[in-house]
Amino acid sequence: MLGKKLSGNNEKQEENSKIRKNISIQLFSNSFGEDEIQAIRPVFESRWTGMGNETKMLEKELGEKWDCPRTLVVNCCTAALFMSMKILGIRQGDEVIIPSIHFIGAVNAIFDAGAKPVFADVDIRTLNILPEEIERLRTENTKAVMVLHYGGHPCDMDEIMEIAKKYNLYVIEDNANSPFSTYKGKYCGTIGDVGCTSFESTKIMCMGDGGAITLKTDELYKKAIEYRYFGLKHKGQSGIDSFKEGAQKWWEIELNCLSNRYVTCDILSAIGRVQLKKADKFIKRRKEIWDTYQKGLSELEWLETPPEPSAGSAGSLLS
Please tell me whether residue 249 adopts helix, strand or coil conformation: coil
Q: Which is nearer to ligand PLP, 85 or 242 (CB)?
A: 85
Closest approach of ligand PLP to the CB of residue 30, in Å: 14
> What is the smallest separation between the CB atom of 133 and ligand PLP, expressed in angstroms?
18
Shortest distance (Å) from residue 300 CB to ligand PLP: 28
Q: Catalogue the E-assigned strands of the chain.
A: 71-74, 95-99, 116-120, 142-148, 170-174, 182-183, 186-187, 194-198, 211-215
In the complex with ligand PLP, the residue whose CB is nearer, 75 or 242, is 75
CB of 130 to ligand PLP, least distance (A): 18
Nearer to ligand PLP, 76 or 205 (CB): 76
DSSP for 106-164 reads HHHHHHHTT-EEEEE-B-TTT-PBPHHHHHHH--TTEEEEEEE-GGGPPP-HHHHHHHH
Task: State the CB neighbour count (10 A cutoff) for residue 314.
Answer: 21
Minimum CB separation of residue 175 from ligand PLP in Å reads 8
**Taking a C-beta distance cutoff of 8 angstroms, is the pair 119, 100 a contact?**
yes
Our CB check for ligand PLP shows the closer of 80 and 88 to be 80
Nearer to ligand PLP, 189 or 309 (CB): 189
Question: CA–CA distance from 302 to each of 138, 297, 298, 318 (Å)?
Answer: 37, 10, 9, 21
Q: How far is the CB of 143 from ligand PLP (least distance, A)?
A: 20
CB of 236 to ligand PLP, least distance (A): 27
Give the strand pairing for 116-120 and 95-99.
Answer: parallel
Chain residues in the site for ligand PLP (CB under 6 A): 76-78, 103, 105-106, 148, 174, 176-177, 198, 200, 211
How many CA atoms, within 13 angstroms, populate the side-chain half-sphere of residue 124? Answer: 1
Q: Would you call 208 helix, strand, or coil by DSSP?
A: strand
Alpha-carbon gap, residue 213 to 73, rounded angstroms? 6
Longest dimension (CA), the chain: 91
Q: Name which of 273, 267, 275 is nearest 48 in CA terms.
A: 267
Rounded CA separation 145/129 (Å)? 10
The letter for the amino acid at 167 is Y
Q: Which is nearer to ligand PLP, 238 or 269 (CB)?
A: 269
Whole-number minimum distance, CB 179 to ligand PLP, in Å?
11
Residue 176 vs 263, nearer CB to ligand PLP: 176
Residue nearer to ligand PLP on the CB measure, 113 or 148? 148
- What distances in angstroms separate CA 311 from CA 32, 159, 179, one per listed residue? 33, 15, 18
